[in-house]
């Protein structure tokens, strides 16, 4: 009787302490390291104002992440329909907003421009995970695969006309990765890849030959320009050319802030967003680029680790969706700066300037930490039961 009375308070205090003591420290190190690299680069590339605002966005995101990691992520499953509906509504509402630089991607708020497609990434992940877990016993069925991909394609088709081709591709990558993590058969996955390749060929080659243009000229030039960067250096391949010059001139240790002429003299386009990795390469050279890529490798490794240790399928699928979001964005953004991927406007997570992107990545970070904490708590509970 007395033993139980002594253990009860410890049990009640356990979950509260666990949210602070059972976090993944390496994941935290990777995230904070990337934010530090972003602030330092922005300060040198575009000035202290952008760096300060980025730090503010990161602080807001970190607070949200702290709140998320204290909750059991499994509770989100019951709100999957609400999350999916909210994502669709937000991506429709932007079409009624005023255009900014020729695009309708943002909802103006006091002191902040809310990018609905960015927040749609994490909403899509938690919603798809819920839908898939509900059909976990029918994962082998083609209908399940088709429904999950359709649920990912619908918001992608709403995002691409904004225009935001890059984020639309992220949505598709998330849908595919969710199926991979859930254990969908390789035969069905191969079929999806084949359909995706056929869709690209039709959109870029077959349809234009017949006089039908599913993509705008601007989007087509961005998707095909990287194949021959010297074909039109004054137009669609100008960005790739300047990015390669910037990275190459950085050599081993970089040219420094004062001598980074490609970045400082505005030859390099969008040095604070799309081509910030090129700015890092020119300013800090191979060493700076290697540090950033090493931090991303650490981030991806910890996400993979959390994926494998999740206490349930829902957490595994959420971690897989977040992993797809991060890996796809890093690969495409870094790839386009070195000329091996098309220019699609995909931000570099936690590095590119932008409040919506930074906050969404921190939300994903909070969910990963929540999955890690719940897995550790479950493991501790099982060990106590065995004792």
| pTM score over 0.75 | yes
CA 174 to each of CA 45, 102, 152, 180, 232: distance values in angstroms, whole numbers, following the listed order: 32, 27, 8, 10, 33
Q: Is the pLDDT of residue 239 over 90?
A: no
pLDDT digits (tens, 9 = 90+) for 1-10: 444 444 444 4
Confidence (pLDDT) at 67: 92
Q: Any idea which of 50-64, 209-223, 301-315, 326-340 has the lowest mean pLDDT? A: 209-223
* Sequence-ordered strand ranges (E) for the chain: 106-109, 112-115
Enumerate the β-bridge partners of residue 113: 108
CA 144 to each of CA 71, 123, 135, 140, 376: distance values in angstroms, whole numbers, following the listed order: 29, 20, 7, 8, 31
Confidence (pLDDT) at 5: 43
Highest mean pLDDT out of 139-153, 260-274, 322-336 = 322-336
Please count the CA atoms within 13 angstroms of the CA of 302 that sit on its side-chain side.
21
| Percent share of the chain, pLDDT over 70 | 86
- Residues 150 and 148: their CA atoms lie apart, in Å, by 5
Confidence (pLDDT) at 366: 95
- Average pLDDT in the 227-245 region? 70
Residue 120, number of CB atoms within 10 A of its CB: 27
- Average pLDDT in the 238-262 region? 86
């Amino acid at each position: 009787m007395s033993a139980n009375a002594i253990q009860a308070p410890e049990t009640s205090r356990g979950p509260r302490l666990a949210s602070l003591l059972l976090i993944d420290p390496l994941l935290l190190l990777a995230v904070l390291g990337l934010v530090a690299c972003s602030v330092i680069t922005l300060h040198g590339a575009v000035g202290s104002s952008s760096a300060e605002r980025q730090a503010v966005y990161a602080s807001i995101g970190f607070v949200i992440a702290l709140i998320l990691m204290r909750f059991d992520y499994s509770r989100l499953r019951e709100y999957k329909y609400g999350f999916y509906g909210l994502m669709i509504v937000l991506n429709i509402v932007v079409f009624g907003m005023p255009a900014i630089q020729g695009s309708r991607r943002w909802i103006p708020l006091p002191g902040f421009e809310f990018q609905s497609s960015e927040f749609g990434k994490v909403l899509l992940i938690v919603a798809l995970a819920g839908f898939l877990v509900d059909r976990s016993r029918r994962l082998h069925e083609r209908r399940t695969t088709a429904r999950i991909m359709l649920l990912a394609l619908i918001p992608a088709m709403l995002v691409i006309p904004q225009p935001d081709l890059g984020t639309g591709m992220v949505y598709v990558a998330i849908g595919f990765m969710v199926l991979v993590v859930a254990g969908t058969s390789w035969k069905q996955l191969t079929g999806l890849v084949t359909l995706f390749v056929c869709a690209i060929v039709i959109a870029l080659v077959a349809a234009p030959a017949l006089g039908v243009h599913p993509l705008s000229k601007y989007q087509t030039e961005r998707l095909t320009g990287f194949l021959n960067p010297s074909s039109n250096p004054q137009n669609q391949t100008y960005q790739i050319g300047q990015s390669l010059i910037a990275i190459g001139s950085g050599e081993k240790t970089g040219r420094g802030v004062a001598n980074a002429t490609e970045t400082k003299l505005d030859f390099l386009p969008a040095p604070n967003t799309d081509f910030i990795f090129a700015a890092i390469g020119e300013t800090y050279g191979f060493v700076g680029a290697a540090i950033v890529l090493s931090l991303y490798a650490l981030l991806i490794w910890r996400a993979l680790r959390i994926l494998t240790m999740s206490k349930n399928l829902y957490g595994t699928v959420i971690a897989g969706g977040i992993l797809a979001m991060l890996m796809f964005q890093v690969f495409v953004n870094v790839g386009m700066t070195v000329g091996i991927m098309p220019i699609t406007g995909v931000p570099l997570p936690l590095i590119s300037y932008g409040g919506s992107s930074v906050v969404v990545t921190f939300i994903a970070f909070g969910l990963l930490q929540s999955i890690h904490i719940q897995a550790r708590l479950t493991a501790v509970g099982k060990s106590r039961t065995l004792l």
